[in-house]
Amino acid sequence: MRYVSTRGSAPILGFEDVTLAGLAADGGLYLPEIWPTLTRDEIAGLAGLSYVETAVAIMAPFVGDALSRTELKLLCEAAYGRFSHAAVTPLTQLDHRHWLLELFHGPTLAFKDVALQLLGLLFERFLSSRDTHLTVIGATSGDTGSAAIDALAGRAKVDIFMLHPQGRVSDVQRRQMTTVLAPNVHNIAIDGSFDDAQALVKAMFADRAFAGRFSLSAVNSINWARLMAQIVYYFYAAVRLGAPDRPVAFSVPTGNFGDVFAGYVAARMGLPVAKLIVATNVNDILHRALSVGDYSVGTVTATAAPSMDIQVSSNFERLLFDLHGREGARLAASMQGFESERKLALTADMLSEAGGIFASARVDADEMALAMRWACQNANEVIDPHSAIGLAAARAAALPADVPVVTLATAHPAKFVEAVERATGKRPGLPARAAGLFEREERYARLPAEIGAIEAYIAERATPTA
């Protein structure tokens, strides 16, 4: 499989290089040159497979000859062996048509573990035959950071520098990052928002001298391998609910547009997806973009679903690439306009093409709390604020009555205990795998959201390229 940049002028890479590169050299994001497809029979054949077997079947075409099927299976067994549920991503029924896809059974209690446990192993495998030391830089609103740190702590040939917005992540999220004291883990709290952190990461990639000096790589969903691993659970859930004979809709709490883009790829691969519902909180740029074509950046509002307090959604560029006819030069011009104007208008044609698969909804604080209470009272399920945003959008969606609707439950409720207690009166406890979190020592640096300060901090601690 060959990978092309959304902006059309970076080198075309294979899977191994694309995994290690993270962001493309032209500032774009890598995508497969063509979407691999599965026939109806191949999709039907996924029924009854374990999660690991499904993962191998779905990811093999993307991995190509970078790994043998046996190697890929071994890595998946190691990655998903750390999950606390035998099904890895189990489905829970809420009522006659609503389901939750529980994605929080990994080590750090959020869906990010599904991809990052595998990505950590892929880095290790690909670096084992190279004389390269990787400097991973990342931005987090809480969950990517903890999952990436868990996946990379103590690994040889990798340092990780993770930027989070000071005071804007939950206590559990912060401690999951800052109490990991492995020497290759470096946490930085910046004075700014997640968008500022993400912009700093992209600026460091764009600083070619810095990027070359330290072999930069990414663990955010700008890294293609992240999304690849997330495609798997759409297939896994849908075949359990009757695909390919019965289409399934998914409601996805969305921030950086990575998780829902993985669902889009599943649909492009042939999975019968009735609709992908893009559920945002009041930071609603994606809802505005998909409903009226207004992709314009507003100010970030802090909410009880902080992991989605995002305005500039990295992966929306991947959808825009398809909506621009996969013409990199055309998209590069649009993205340049977006970067200077902070806005981009989707044409009527683009809106109608996107509307074929996507619906969207903006869910405010009251609607979110109501969805948490509904899940509690009607299905005895305590859900987190992000999953509640997905569920509120799912319950409001206009869909044929016979279509099952799966809400992606993206985090364990104990990660956001105050918000859950406020809405439901219940105080979920941390599962055993997170025991002792509040007794451990924390370590992190606090820096201004300025590229000079961040680069200087990293340069003092990272290993330069030989």
Ligand X SMILES: Cc1ncc(COP(=O)(O)O)c(C=O)c1O
Ligand Y SMILES: N[C@@H](CCOP(=O)(O)O)C(=O)O
Residues with catalytic function: 112
Contacts for 9 with CB less than 8 Å, ≥ 6 apart: 26, 28, 328, 329, 332
Q: At what angle do helices 69-80 and 112-127 cross, to 10 degrees?
A: 130
> 124, 152 in Cβ contact below 8 A?
no
Instruction: Determine, following the binding rule CB under 6 A, whether residue 256 of this chain makes contact with ligand Y.
Output: yes
Distances (CA, A) of 407 to 91, 92, 275: 10, 10, 12
Smallest gap from residue 32 Cβ to ligand X (A)? 18
And the tokens for 446? Answer: 């606090």
Smallest gap from residue 203 Cβ to ligand X (A)? 20
Question: Given the complex with ligand X, which of 66 and 219 has the nearer CB atom?
Answer: 219
Contacts of ligand Y in 31-50 (CB under 6 A)? none
Q: Given strand 158-165, what is the order of strands in its sheet? A: 216-218, 134-139, 158-165, 185-191, 445-448
Query: Out of ligand Y, ligand X, none, which partner does residue 204 contact, by CB within 5 to 8 A per kind?
Result: none
Contacts of ligand Y in 130-149 (CB under 6 A)? 140-145
Instruction: Determine, following the binding rule CB under 6 A, whether residue 255 of this chain makes contact with ligand Y.
Output: yes
Query: Out of ligand X, ligand Y, none, which partner does residue 108 contact, by CB within 5 to 8 A per kind?
Result: none
Cis check for the bond before 36: say yes or no (omega within 30 of 0): no
Instruction: Determine, following the binding rule CB under 6 A, whether residue 217 of this chain makes contact with ligand Y.
Output: no
Smallest gap from residue 149 Cβ to ligand Y (A)? 11
Among 307, 334, 360, 424, binds ligand Y (CB under 6 A): 307
Q: Rounded to whole angstroms, how far apart are CA atoms 198 and 158?
A: 20
Q: Mask: binding to ligand Y, 142-181, rule CB under 6 A, as x and -?
A: xxxx------------------------------------
Smallest gap from residue 222 Cβ to ligand Y (A)? 6
Among 193, 220, 280, 424, binds ligand Y (CB under 6 A): 220
Query: Out of ligand X, ligand Y, none, which partner does residue 254 contact, by CB within 5 to 8 A per kind?
Result: ligand X
By DSSP bridging, strand 3-5 and strand 134-139 are: unpaired
Query: Out of ligand X, ligand Y, none, which partner does residue 386 contact, by CB within 5 to 8 A per kind?
Result: ligand X
- Which is nearest to 31 in space by CA: 55, 52, 15? 15
Contacts for 128 with CB less than 8 Å, ≥ 6 apart: none
Residues binding ligand Y: number (CB under 6 A): 13
Question: Given the complex with ligand X, which of 98 and 415 has the nearer CB atom?
Answer: 415
Smallest gap from residue 136 Cβ to ligand Y (A)? 12
Q: Mask: binding to ligand Y, 309-348, rule CB under 6 A, as x and -?
A: -----x----------------------------------
- Which is nearest to 358 in space by CA: 409, 447, 287? 287
Smallest gap from residue 280 Cβ to ligand X (A)? 9
Smallest gap from residue 140 Cβ to ligand Y (A)? 3
**Where do contacts with ligand X occur on this chain (CB under 6 A)?**
110, 143, 221, 253-260, 307-308, 386, 410-411
- Which is nearest to 222 in space by CA: 7, 401, 454, 458? 7
And the tokens for 238? Answer: 């849908």
Query: Out of ligand Y, ligand X, none, which partner does residue 220 contact, by CB within 5 to 8 A per kind?
Result: ligand Y
Smallest gap from residue 110 Cβ to ligand Y (A)? 7
Question: Given the complex with ligand X, which of 4 and 109 has the nearer CB atom?
Answer: 109
Query: Out of ligand Y, ligand X, none, which partner does residue 193 contact, by CB within 5 to 8 A per kind?
Result: none
Q: Rounded to whole angstroms, how far apart are CA atoms 425 and 57?
A: 43
Among 89, 117, 221, 334, binds ligand Y (CB under 6 A): 221
Question: Given the complex with ligand X, which of 138 and 258 has the nearer CB atom?
Answer: 258
Question: Given the complex with ligand X, which of 211 and 406 has the nearer CB atom?
Answer: 406
Smallest gap from residue 170 Cβ to ligand Y (A)? 11
CB atoms within 10 A of CB 218: 26
Query: Out of ligand Y, ligand X, none, which partner does residue 314 contact, by CB within 5 to 8 A per kind?
Result: ligand Y
And the tokens for 43? Answer: 């999709």
Question: Given the complex with ligand Y, which of 165 and 270 has the nearer CB atom?
Answer: 165
Question: Given the complex with ligand X, which of 112 and 133 has the nearer CB atom?
Answer: 112
Stretch that binds ligand Y, among 82-90, 177-185, 231-239, 251-259 (CB under 6 A): 251-259
Query: Out of ligand X, ligand Y, none, which partner does residue 174 contact, by CB within 5 to 8 A per kind?
Result: none
Residues that bind ligand Y (CB under 6 A): 140-145, 220-221, 255-256, 258, 307, 314
